[in-house]
Structure 1
Amino acid sequence: MKFIIQKDYLVQSVQDVMKAVSSRTTIPILTGIKIVATTEGVTLTGSDSDISIESFIPAEEAGSEIVEIRQPGSIVLQARFFSEIVKKLPKDTVEIEVQNHLSTVIRSGKAEFNLNGLDAEEYPHLPQVEEENMFRIPTDLLKNMIRQTVFAVSVSETRPILTGVNWKVESGQLHCTATDSHRLAMRKASIEMENQDTYNVVIPGKSLNELSKILDDTNELVDIVITENQVLFKTKHLLFFSRLLDGNYPDTSRLIPNESKTDVVITTKDLLQSIDRASLLGEGKNNVVKLSTLPEGVIEVSSNTPEIGKVIEEIQSQSIEGEELKISFSAKYMIDALKALDSTEIKVSFTGAMRPFLLRSIDNDSVLHLILPVRTF
C-alpha cells in the first residue's frame, strides 16, 4: 500500500474515528485504526465493538485531488501514536507506505516515522446492515435532539437500560426520551420516511454524545438505519454504528401529569441565572434550591446550608396562576433542563410540593422536561 494524501483531510478523519477507539478494549487490534486504500480513496475505521466509525476520504472532490493512490492495500496502525504523529507532521501532504512485514513509513517534508502495523485481515468486520428500513433527519435537528435529551440519561449501571435514550418512531414522528428516574427529557420531531415502519429502540447515551461531536452543523440529511441490535447513522463520508441496549424501556408516559395546580410563566434567563446563584450555597451534593411563589407574580428562589450560609433572591415572573407553592429541587437538574430549552420564555407547571413538575417552551411543544422535587420541608 502506498498513497499521498492532503494532511488536513487525514487529520480530520483520524480525529473522527478516534472517538470510537478505546484503550481499554479486550481485543488488542481494536486499539488500532484500520486504513484501506482503494482507487476510489482512503477509508479509516475505528471501533471499540460498541461503537464503530468509518470515515471515507475520496481520491478527489470538486475537481481537486485529495489522495493520490500509488498502490492499493490495507494496514492497522496503533491509534494513539498514529493520531499524534499525523497532527504534528510538518508539511501539507503526507505519504504513507507499507513495506515488508507490515512496517509502515509515514513521511512529510523531512520527517519520517516508521510504525509497526498489524494485518488488516484480522480487524473485525463492521456490522452488515440492510438499508431497507431507513429514515432521514437534518443534521442540525439531530444534534439538537441529542443535546436536549442525552444529559438526562442515568450514569449508574444499576439499570443499564436507563443509560440510553429511548427512540420511538411511529407515523412519521421520532420521539426521544431519556430519564435517570429523577428527571426526564423528551423531544419529538417529524422525520422523512419511505415506509411507515415503527421502531422502539434504546441507543446508549455515550454513543449519541460521540456522534454529536462528529456531526457538522449543517442541514444536510443524515440517513438512519435501525436493525435488531444496531443503529447506523450515515452522512456523506461517514458511517457511525452503535449497538443498541437490550431490554424494555420503562413506559414514561404515565409519569407526565395531565393537570397542574400552579403554572408559572417566566423568562428562562432570569430563572436560570437566579438558580445558578442560589446553587452556590445549595445544600448536599445535589445543591438543593427552594422556590416559593409570592403575591403579585413574584418568585422567591433561595437556598440555605446551615454551616455555610444562605441566599434569597426575588425575581418577577410574567404570570403565576393557581395555588401558592413551595418546592425544593436539585439545582443541577433544573439548570440542565433550562439550558436545553431553546426558548426565551418558559412555562413551569407544578402539581404540588412533592409531585413531579414540567418545564416547557411557551412557543414550542416539541420539548418537555420533567423533574422530581426533593423533600426538605
Structure 2
Amino acid sequence: MKFSCNQQELSTAINLVSKAVSSKTTLPILSGIYFETVGDQIRLIGNDLSLSIETFMSATVFESGNIVIPSRILTELIKKLPNNLIEIEVNDNSVITINCLESSFKIVGLPGLEYPELPNIEDQNSFEIDKELFSNMIKQTSFAISQDESRPILTGALLEIENSKFNMVAIDGFRMAIKRAHIKTNLNAKAVVPGKTLNEINKIMSQVESKGDLKIAFDDKQVLFTFESLKVYSRLLAGEFINYTQILPNDFKSVAKVNTDQFLTCIDRSFLMARENKNVAIKLEIKDDLIKISSSSEMGSSMEKLSVALEGNDLEIGFNPKYLIDALKVIDSEEIYLEMINNVSPCIIRPIDHESYTYLVLPCRISR
C-alpha cells in the first residue's frame, strides 16, 4: 500500500474518525485507525464496537492495500507535520513509513484484514432531515439524557417517527425534554440512540461547514448517520423506552408567562448561593403578577423579583436551579409559560409562540 495526500486533509480525517477509537479497549486492533485504498480515495474508519465513524479523503494512490495504524501516535504525528504533501507506504510486515519533506517516521501497524466489518444497514428504514434542525434537536434534549447506567435505556434519546412527525425525547428521572419537528417521510418507526452517539454527531456536524440534509437509517440493532463523505454507525439501546406521553400533566392550576432571558438571569444569580450545597433548592413564589426567586445556604442568601403574567392560583414551589438553567439556555423563544398544578407535581416549561418544545421538571422540597 502506498499513497500521498495533503497534511491538513489527512489531519482532519484522522481527527473525525478518532472520536470512535477507544483508548481502553482490550482488542489492540481497535486502538488503531483503519486505512484502505478505494480508487483515488482513502477510506478511514474508527471503531469501538459501539460507535464507528467512516470517512473518505482524496489521495494519489500508487499501490492499493489496507492497514491499521495506532491512533494516538498517528494523530499527534500528522498534526505536528508541516502543511505539505505526506507520503505513506506500508511494507509486507505492516511497517508504515511516513515521509513529509525532510522528515521520515516508521510505525508498526496491524494487518487490515483483521479489522471488524462495519454493519450493513438497509436503506428502506431511512429518512432525511436538515442538518441544522437535527443539531438543534440534540442541543435542546441531550442534557436531559440520564448518566445512570443502572437504567441503560435512559442513557439514550428516543427518536420517534410517525405520520411525518419526528420527536426526540430524553428523560433522566428528574426532567424530560421533548423536541418535535416535521419531516417528509412515510416511515413509522422508533429507536433509542445512545447519548454519546448524539453528542459526537453534533460535534462532528459543527465541524462540517456545508449545510444540507442528514440521512438517518436504522434496523433493529444499529443506526447509520450519513452526510457528505462521512458515515457514523452506532448500536441502538435495547429495551422499551418510557411511555413519555403518560408523564405529561394537564389541567394546570397556575400558569405564569415570563421573559426567558430575564428569568434565566435571575435563576443564574440565585444559583450562586444554592450551588454551595447540592441539596439546596431555589424557591419561586408566584403571586400578584410577580415572581420572587430566593435561595439560601451557609454562604448567604438572595432574593430576585421579576414581573410575570399569572393566570390561576398563587404558588410557592422549589426547583433544582441547574435543571431550570439547562432548559432556559436552549429555549429559542422570547417568552415562556410555566405551567403548574401544585408544588409537588411536575412543572411544564414551553415557549409561548410554538409547540415544538416541551420541558418537564420535577419540583423539590424547599426549606422553611
Residue correspondence of structure 1 range 167-246 to structure 2 within 5 A: 167-193=159-185, 196-215=186-205, 216=208, 218-246=210-238
**281-290 or 326-335: bigger deviation:** 281-290
Match of 2:148 in 1: 156
Q: Within 1, Cα distance between the matches of 2:198 and 2:209?
A: 15
Structure 1 length-normalised TM:
0.94
Partner of 2:241: 249
CA distance in 2, matches of 1:92, 1:273: 49
Q: Identify the residue that residue 121 of structure 1 maps to in structure 2.
A: 113
Partner residue in 2 for 1:335 = 325
Q: Which residue of 2 aligns with 1:22?
A: 22
| SS class of match (1:19) | helix
Aligned-pair Cα RMSD in Å: 1.3
With over 3 angstroms needed to count, the CA separation of the structure-2 counterparts of 1:131 and 1:40, relative to structure 1, is farther
3-state DSSP of counterpart to 1:146 = helix
User: 1:159–1:345: structure 2 CA closer, same or farther, 3 Å change rule?
Assistant: same
- Kept in 2, the 8 Å contact 1:287–1:332? The answer is no
Separation in structure 2 between the aligned mates of residue 171 and residue 40 of structure 1, nearest angstrom: 42
Gaps of 5+ in 2: none
Work out which of the residue numbers 297, 302, 313 in structure 2 matches 1:311: 302
1:326 counterpart residue number:
316
Identity %: 38
Q: 1:137: how far off?
A: 0.3
- Distance in 1 (alpha carbons) for counterparts of 2:255 and 2:4: 63
- Contact 1:91–1:109 (CA under 8 A) maintained in structure 2: no
Is 1:96–1:105's contact at 8 Å kept on the other side of the alignment? yes
Q: Which residue is 1:367 aligned to?
A: 357
**CA deviation vs aligned residue, 1:40-90 (integer Å, no higher than 9, x gap):** 301100011000000111x3xxxxxxx211111111000000011111102
Match of 1:293 among 286, 291, 296: 286
Q: Which amino acid aligns with 2:303?
A: I
In the aligned structure 1, how far is the partner of 2:124 from the partner of 2:89?
38
Report the equivalent of 1:64: none
Deviation per CA, 1:109-135: give whole Å up to 9, x if none. Answer: 211111101000000000111112210
SS in 1 for 2:325: helix
Gaps of 5+ in 1: 60-66
Q: Which amino acid aligns with 1:351?
A: I
Aligned-pair CA distance for 1:263 = 1.1
Q: Write out aligned runs for 1:49-88 (5 A).
A: 49-57=49-57, 59=58, 67-88=59-80
Deviation at 1:288, TM superposition (A): 1.6
State the SS of the aligned residue for 1:375: coil
Give 1:347 shift. Answer: 1.2
**Residue pair 1:138, 1:222 contacting (<8 A) in 2 also:** yes
Contact 1:139 1:221 (8 Å CA) reproduced:
yes
Structure 2 Cα separation of the partners of residues 105 and 185 of structure 1: 50
Does structure 2 conserve the Cα–Cα contact (< 8 Å) formed by 1:105 and 1:114? yes
